[in-house]
């Protein structure tokens, strides 16, 4: 196996997020692969880092992708960010995504980390870590 399926997985994850009604209701189209320059919305979602490992076994060739989706919010308190993070988990955990290359075997929520960032802790950020197993065909 190789890193070849990574772009297809990222594209499918992005499409799942931008087309999810629960997410659309909360942030509209503020889902980014690359955060744009300029003024940002008060709350948005961004795709983050990814780690990939070989995961082939006797059943076939596969890779294990661990990737982060971040919810970033300037809203007071963690309430809005946690509600949106829940919608992201609902959209991705166990989702049956169709990839342009390869096949998704499974997609699972792994863990989350919530913290304050920015000047004076004015920004809330929740990093959601997911695990995806994919096969290349």
Contact 89, 16 (CB under 8 A): no
Q: Can you read off the two tokens belonging to residue 3? A: 């890193």
The domain limits of the chain are: 6-135
Q: Which fold has domain 6-135?
A: STM4215-like (3.30.2000)
Give backbone dihedrals phi and psi of 80, rounded to 5 degrees, phi first. -65, -40
Residue 55: pLDDT band with limits 50, 70, 90? confident
Residue 2: pLDDT band with limits 50, 70, 90? confident
Name the more confident of 121 and 126.
Answer: 126
Please report, for residues 17, 28, 63, 89, the alpha-carbon distance to residue 85 in angstroms, rounded to integers and kept in the order given. 11, 14, 26, 6
Residue 135: pLDDT band with limits 50, 70, 90? very high
Question: What predicted TM-score, i.e. pTM, was given to this entire model?
Answer: 0.93
Given a cut of 80, whether residue 1 has pLDDT beyond it is no
User: If we measure between CA atoms, which residue out of 80, 76, 86, 87 comes closest to residue 20?
Assistant: 87
Mean pLDDT (the chain, rounded) = 94
Share of the chain residues as helix, strand and coil, in percent rounded to the nearest 5? 25, 40, 35
- Give the residues across from 53 on adjacent strands: 64
Share of the chain above pLDDT 70, in %: 99
Q: Can you read off the two tokens belonging to residue 62? A: 């596969």
Pairing of strands 31-32, 43-54: parallel
Write the pLDDT tens digit of every residue in 81-103.
999 999 999 999 999 999 999 99
């Amino acid at each position: 196996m190789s890193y070849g399926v990574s772009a297809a997985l990222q594209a499918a994850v992005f499409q799942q997020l931008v087309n999810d009604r629960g997410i659309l209701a909360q942030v509209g189209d503020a889902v980014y692969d690359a955060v744009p320059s300029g003024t940002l919305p008060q709350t948005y979602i961004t795709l983050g880092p990814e780690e990939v490992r070989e995961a082939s076994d006797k059943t076939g060739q596969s890779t294990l992708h661990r990737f982060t989706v971040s919810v970033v919010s300037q809203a007071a308190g963690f309430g809005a960010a946690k509600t949106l993070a829940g919608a992201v988990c609902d959209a991705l955990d166990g989702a049956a995504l169709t990839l342009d290359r390869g096949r998704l075997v499974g997609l699972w929520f792994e863990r989350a980390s919530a913290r304050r960032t920015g000047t004076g802790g004015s920004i809330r950020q929740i990093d959601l870590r997911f695990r995806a197993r994919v096969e290349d065909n």
